[in-house]
Amino acid sequence: MRIRILLLVAVLLPGAARDAQPAGLRPPVKTLTFAVGGAPSELDYWEELLREFTTRTGIRVELLRQPTDTSLRRQTLSVALLARERDPDVFLMDVAWLAQFAASGWLAPLDPYLGRDGCSGRDAFFPRILELADTWKGRTVALPLYVDGGILYYRTDLLRKYGIPGPPATWEQLKEAALKVQRGERRDRPGFYGFVWQGAQYEGLVCDFLEFGGADGGVETVGGQMIVDTPGNRKALGFMADLIHKYGISPPNTYTDMREEEARAFFQEGNALFERNWPYAWSLHQAPGSRVKGVTGAAPLPAFEPGRGTACLGGWHVGLSRYGDATAEGARLIGFLTSREVQKKLALRLGWNSGRKDIYDDPEVAERLPYYKELRAVIERARPRPMVPYYSQVSEILQRHLNAALAGKSSPGEALAAAQREIRDVLSRYD
Amino acid sequence: MRKDHDLRELLKGYGFLAPVCALLLAFVFLPVAGTLLDSLHRDVTFLPRRFIGLGNYRSLSSDPGFWQSLRFTGLFTLVSVPLELALGLAFALLLEHPTSARGFLRAGVLLPWAIPAAVSGRVFELIYNVQYGLANALVTGIGLSEGPVHWLGTSAGAFLALVAADAWKTTPFVAILLLAGLSAIPEDLYRQAEVDRAGPLQRFFRVTLPLLRPVLVVALLFRTIDSLRVFDLVFVLTGGGPGGSTTSLSLYGYRFFVGGDFGYGSAVSVVLFLLAFMLSLLYLRASRFGREIA
């Protein structure tokens, strides 16, 4: 509550100050507000894009700079929308909270604008993602601006050195390769591990868990109930715990420290053979100063059976506020941001993976970003986390119990059964 | 005539109090009342708001995650506060001792307190790190352990790591508070006790401790409330893990606020508030705090 009030004050104050201006001083043109977060360099690039939009359309856009942290970005948006603020008009949402925003009625349907006024139609985007993530009760409420899926990074030099033909197709192959290489490499590098991934108690753990299960795991919704305690999921969680405790190919601090950046740094220091991470790590692994530059490969994640692998869908989607005061202008900005031209620029400049299919066929993108080809297959098979408005509550429970199983505090079966019970209780609160 | 004067004085008095009362009303009573009201509702962004009485509290009572965080918060307070008070008192007594470097030492002791908890949490995360942490370099260096220790890997380890980090950060606060209390004790009393042939231990228990009690109670109160509300340190150092075993009540409630369930999050906040409030009342009563100040 305290945080909510503080944020309310923080969001409302600038609004109040603007209202206090005499009417005559107001700019005659409507001003659009666009909220986005990220690193300073990214935000500078957004400014550049917005200036271009203004030059072309004459619509002024104000950039509302948000923090980098995902849950802080979510909070600032929630508070503004909860208070039915007129700003921001357009904003980015993580796919993990898109459903909550849609179900809260905060998003204006985009259907009237699609395919008109320079805005692409639904068919420009990956149909599965649009269907599973951006459609709420039959309406298009967002468009994918940046799509993401977990991939497997591997050391090409080490695979060659130990005579392993290529990246693993199954978890069993991954385990064997990791054991072999780890044994050999430890002679020179005692801190070398076979496989790093995200196991700390946070959202990323849920993504990794869903990917370990692949097409045989996951969270199913049956008759209004969410099913997590399945044989496929038990197998996945058991394997995750075994990687740390039984095979010893994932570091002991996997379940305490390992998030995206920790795993990336570990691999980038040359201390691991395999790494599960998002595509953003690619350009950093290949950057000057990286110890794995030129010897890193990327492949789709394995599964227990070949061809059953999936990726957890991540990424950012752009939406239009229902309470904004410049809805039509906002829709034009969304059309601009999701256009082929801008999406290509975002791919080349920020390394963003487009939600548009045609970017993956672009020869210039293919030349500059060689991993993009692989990525298309990963993204087409990516599965979103449960698209339910109370996903955060479900995720909190899953994180806690999955992490307990990784810590060896409970068996995979106990952990999933307990999670199942608690999820049922949460759902009963939202009847 | 005289009555008029009294009335004016009275009004003037209330006038001086008014700003404080308004501030308290706006920033303490209204938010608390608002949270209390929220906690009696199903207040979720994606469903219509509905009054459900004690429904949220009933759900809390059967929520293992809530009980786990309540247990952690209670235990954390129970262990860290006495430790910090004892260490703080020891530091205060040492710093009272006149040396030429006293000013420098006093300023130095305050440093950890001046560092934001998020920053010190990060520092301790590095210290406890399995691969390159300082703690492991120490224990393996002096031969206490053969391999690296995974400090944050068990519930007990993570708990003690948090207590240590918290003690490091807040002991200075207690020390400075008690130091102020110590310097307010008149020298004469000690000299008199010496004349009466009281030894150092007797002087400490018969003179220092009783006269320090009001300040001790204040320190105890501040530290108890603060450690019940612990958030930033846990958030940064353990993220509530492993397996939720170090999730504090405020961290648990916060997650519901982020997830859009304000009613349930408020119920957690109210429990935390009541806990802190009752403990404070208990302390003040037990120490007869009001009487001594008067």
The percent of residues above 70 in pLDDT, for chain B, comes to: 97
Total domain count, chain A: 2
User: Looking at the structure, do residues A79 and A189 belong to the same domain, yes or no?
Assistant: no
Determine, yes or no, domain membership for A7.
no
Determine, yes or no, domain membership for A279.
yes
Determine, yes or no, domain membership for A210.
yes
Q: Per-residue pLDDT tens for A375-425?
A: 898 998 899 999 999 999 999 999 999 999 999 999 999 999 999 999 999
**Backbone phi, then psi, for A87, in 5-degree steps?**
-115, 150
Determine, yes or no, domain membership for A256.
yes
Residue A208: Cβ-neighbour burial (10 angstroms; 0-12, 13-18, 19+): buried
* Separation of alpha carbons B252 and B240, rounded Å: 9
Residue A181 is part of which domain span? 151-310+392-429
Residue A236 contacts by C-beta under 8 Å, 6 or more apart in sequence?
A209, A212, A213, A214, A217
Residue of A71, A257, A400 lying closest to B258 (CB–CB): A71
| DSSP, residue by residue, B152-191 | GGSHHHHHHHHHHHHHHHHHHHHHHHHHHHHHTS-HHHHH
User: Looking at the structure, do residues A98 and A184 belong to the same domain, yes or no?
Assistant: no
Q: Exposure pattern of B106-127 as b/e (b: 16+ CB <10 Å)?
A: beebeebbeeebeebbebbbeb
User: Looking at the structure, do residues A90 and A189 belong to the same domain, yes or no?
Assistant: no
User: Looking at the structure, do residues A326 and A305 belong to the same domain, yes or no?
Assistant: no
Residue B260 contacts by C-beta under 8 Å, 6 or more apart in sequence?
A78, A100, A104, A389, A390, A392, B44, B45, B46
Check if A230 contacts B (Cβ < 8 Å).
Answer: no
Is the Cβ–Cβ distance between A104 and B45 less than 8 Å?
Answer: yes
Q: Which residues pair with A93 in a beta bridge?
A: A317
Is the Cβ–Cβ distance between A203 and A395 less than 8 Å?
Answer: yes
Q: Exposure pattern of B255-293 as b/e (b: 16+ CB <10 Å)?
A: bbbbbbbbbbbbbbbbbbbebbeebbeebeeebebeeee
Determine, yes or no, domain membership for A403.
yes
Chain A residues within 8 A of B31 when measuring between CB atoms: 1-2, 5
- pLDDT average, residue stretch B187-201: 87
Chain A residues within 8 A of B46 when measuring between CB atoms: 100, 103-105, 389-390
A29 confidence band (pLDDT: 50, 70, 90)? low
Q: Where are the alpha helices (DSSP H) in A293-411?
A: 327-337, 340-350, 363-368, 372-380, 391-406
User: Looking at the structure, do residues A160 and A117 belong to the same domain, yes or no?
Assistant: no
Query: Alpha carbon of B199 to those of A227, A263, A267, B187: distances in Å?
Result: 70, 60, 63, 16
A221: enclosing H helix or E strand: strand A220-222
Q: Per-residue pLDDT tens for B5-52?
A: 788 889 998 999 999 999 999 999 999 999 999 999 999 999 999 999
User: Looking at the structure, do residues A162 and A202 belong to the same domain, yes or no?
Assistant: yes
User: Looking at the structure, do residues A164 and A275 belong to the same domain, yes or no?
Assistant: yes
- Does the structure show a pLDDT above 90 at B269? yes
Q: Per-residue pLDDT tens for A349-377?
A: 888 899 999 999 999 998 988 888 888 98
pLDDT at A13: 43
CA distance A10 to chain B (A): 15
Chain A residues within 8 A of B145 when measuring between CB atoms: none
- Does the structure show a pLDDT above 70 at B290? no
Determine, yes or no, domain membership for A15.
no
Domains and CATH numbers, chain B: 64-118+155-293 (1.10.3720.10)
Residue A286: Cβ-neighbour burial (10 angstroms; 0-12, 13-18, 19+): middle
User: Looking at the structure, do residues A143 and A156 belong to the same domain, yes or no?
Assistant: no
Q: Per-residue pLDDT tens for A206-249?
A: 999 999 999 999 998 887 789 999 999 999 999 999 999 999 99
Determine, yes or no, domain membership for A337.
yes
User: Looking at the structure, do residues A291 and A399 belong to the same domain, yes or no?
Assistant: yes
The percent of residues above 70 in pLDDT, for chain A, comes to: 93
Q: Give the position of tokens 């860290």.
A: B80
Cα B276 off chain centre by: 10
pLDDT at B228: 96
Check if A67 contacts B (Cβ < 8 Å).
Answer: no
Is the Cβ–Cβ distance between A63 and A47 less than 8 Å?
Answer: yes
Domain containing residue A197: CATH number: 3.40.190.10
pLDDT at A7: 46
Determine, yes or no, domain membership for A387.
no
| Token pair listed for B235 | 């958030």
User: Looking at the structure, do residues A164 and A206 belong to the same domain, yes or no?
Assistant: yes
- pLDDT average, residue stretch B70-94: 95
* Separation of alpha carbons A157 and A174, rounded Å: 16
Cβ contact, residue pair A425, B59, below 8 Å: yes
Given the DSSP bridges, would you call strands A151-155 and B50-51 parallel, antiparallel or unpaired? Answer: unpaired
Say which DSSP state A214 is in.
G
Q: Which of B278, B72, B229 is nearest to A2 (CA)?
A: B229
User: Looking at the structure, do residues A358 and A281 belong to the same domain, yes or no?
Assistant: no
Q: Give the position of tokens 């008109």.
A: A116
A95: enclosing H helix or E strand: none
Check if A71 contacts B (Cβ < 8 Å).
Answer: yes
User: Looking at the structure, do residues A83 and A166 belong to the same domain, yes or no?
Assistant: no
- Does the structure show a pLDDT above 60 at A11? no
pLDDT at A10: 45
